[in-house]
Amino acid sequence: MPYAYLNPEFDGHELEAVFFNKKVNKSAIIAIHRKIQGRTIGGFRIYPYPTFHAARTDVLRLSAGMTRKAVMANLPVGGAKGVLIANPDCDKNEALYQFIAECINALGGQYVTAEDAGFHYPDAFEVAKYTRHIAGLANNIDEMPFPDLSNISDLTSQMTALGVFEGIRVCLRRVFGCNSCEGRSFAVQGLGKTGYPIARFIHQAGGRLVIADIDQEKTKRASAEFGGSCSVVSIEEIFASHVDVFVPCSLGGITIAEAQYRIVAGSANNALLSMEDGDALHQKGILYAPDYIINSGGLRKVYFETLNGGYNHGALLHTIFEEIPKALETIFDHSEKKNLPAHRTAEKIYQEKLAALN
């Protein structure tokens, strides 16, 4: 049996490349899931994976998710991802940025990278000194919904957050008959580049927040800003929150057993670890917004940057406001009609769209 098949997340990926750099003593993996029109886009994640196997599992899942995201957003580009086994809080330096660029350059332009968890706008800016195969650099503060968050959240992530918020409103309407956040409660897990702006959208729309993050500076900042309509809980307690909506915005893999919400909808890639987890949510009557549809705002933005005509913010906003809600409505309509859980409906439509491309 080929080695690749030994990891259950292997999905016929076109290429996996493993890199090691002696100078920084770090390893990275880039996985290309599918090339469409000869190219792929997908972020680069920096995370202190406990084992190489864990990193490989993550990159295989994330890259397959990127193809799903692009195909469902009708973007003519395939999915890929990079992961670097390192601590994003203390391992970053010039040599590390050079190493990341070397990995990307080794693929000769088939893979265009962007930000992800642990790899933020200032990092992308540093890596861009050594590679041109990087997007996410268009970061005009005036175009941000929340310019004052520019020290913790870039334009790409705020576009992801905007799409997630619009998607949450679709879910609220499906479940409660009204898309208002007033009087509703939301558990936001992770207050990073996407989670913080999502929490602020919810707060501004009148929602009550329960928040958790491993970084206490972030929960302190959020608690000070959102005041009495926000409570902070531990990263374990957040799963058992009695809220209307669970909003996963960290590294995915939500704990289903404790789920007692009506909706799960957030920015996290791989929010579900398995199709069976999605079935369990469905059986509990919880509406799940497929991650690769609701969180596609950032990919849409990065894709717009790579177009010949250059970045057009107005056109991007149009696709976020129009296409993300429409895509979710389509999935939920089909799901209801066929009594097939939303995540399985999304997978079925993705497979059909992918087959039509081949």
- Map the footprint of ligand NAD across residues 285-304, applying CB under 6 A: 295, 298
Residue among 189, 219, 241, 319 that touches ligand NAD (CB under 6 A): 189
Q: Least distance in Å: CB of 252 to ligand NAD?
A: 5
Binding of ligand NAD by 190 (CB under 6 A): yes
Q: Which is nearer to ligand NAD, 141 or 235 (CB)?
A: 235
C-beta closer to ligand NAD: residue 181 or 191? 191
The long-range contacts involving 174-183, CB below 8 angstroms and separated by at least 24 positions, are 174/287, 174/332, 175/244, 175/262, 175/263, 175/287, 176/244, 176/262, 180/205, 180/206, 181/205, 181/206, 181/207, 182/206, 182/207
Binding to ligand NAD (CB under 6 A): which residues in 112-141? 115-118
Name which of 306 and 334 has its Cβ closer to ligand NAD. 306
The torsion region of residue 108 among left (phi > 0), alpha (psi -120 to 50) and beta comes to left
Distance CA 343, CA 177 (A): 21
| d(C-alpha 69, C-alpha 269), whole Å | 10
13-72 residues in contact with ligand NAD (CB under 6 A) are: none
Cβ-Cβ contacts under 8 Å for 55 (sequence gap 6 or more) = 27, 29, 47, 49, 83, 85
Of 67, 131, 156, 335, the one binding ligand NAD (CB under 6 A) is 156
For ligand NAD, give the closer residue by CB, 270 or 335.
Answer: 270
The CA angle 38-40-42, to the nearest 5 degrees, is: 175
Q: Which of 80, 104, 202, 251 binds ligand NAD (CB under 6 A)?
A: 251
Q: Which sequence positions are flagged as catalytic? A: 81
SS3 (DSSP) at 143: helix
Neighbours of 54 (CB within 10 A): 14
Q: Which of residues 211-230 bind ligand NAD (CB under 6 A)?
A: 212-215, 218
Find the shortest distance in angstroms from Cβ 212 to ligand NAD: 5
Q: What strands, in cross-sheet order, belong to the sheet with 26-34?
A: 15-21, 26-34, 78-85, 40-47, 111-114
Taking the least distance from each CB to ligand NAD, the nearer of 140 and 283 is 140
Applying CB under 6 A, among 79, 167, 252, 278 the residue interacting with ligand NAD is: 252
Residue 166 burial (CB count, 10 A): 20
Stretch in the footprint of ligand NAD (CB under 6 A) among 10-18, 94-102, 153-161, 279-287: 153-161
- Shortest Cβ 214–ligand NAD spacing (Å): 5
User: From the CB of 176, what's the least distance to ligand NAD, in Å?
Assistant: 25
Q: Which residue type does 77 have?
A: V
**CB 98 to ligand NAD: min, Å:** 22
CA pair distance 333, 338, nearest whole angstrom: 9
**Residue 317, burial from CB neighbour count under 10 angstroms (0-12, 13-18, 19+):** middle
Cβ proximity to ligand NAD: between 167 and 341 the closer is: 167
Separation in Å, CA 61 to CA 6, 58, 82: 14, 5, 11
Strand partners, 45: 83
- Contact window for ligand NAD (CB under 6 A) among 137-145, 184-192, 276-284, 325-333: 184-192
Q: How far is the CB of 164 from ligand NAD (least distance, A)?
A: 8
For residue 55, the minimal CB distance to ligand NAD (Å) is 14
Chain residues binding ligand NAD by CB under 6 A are 115-118, 156-157, 160, 189-195, 212-215, 218, 235, 249-252, 267-269, 295, 298
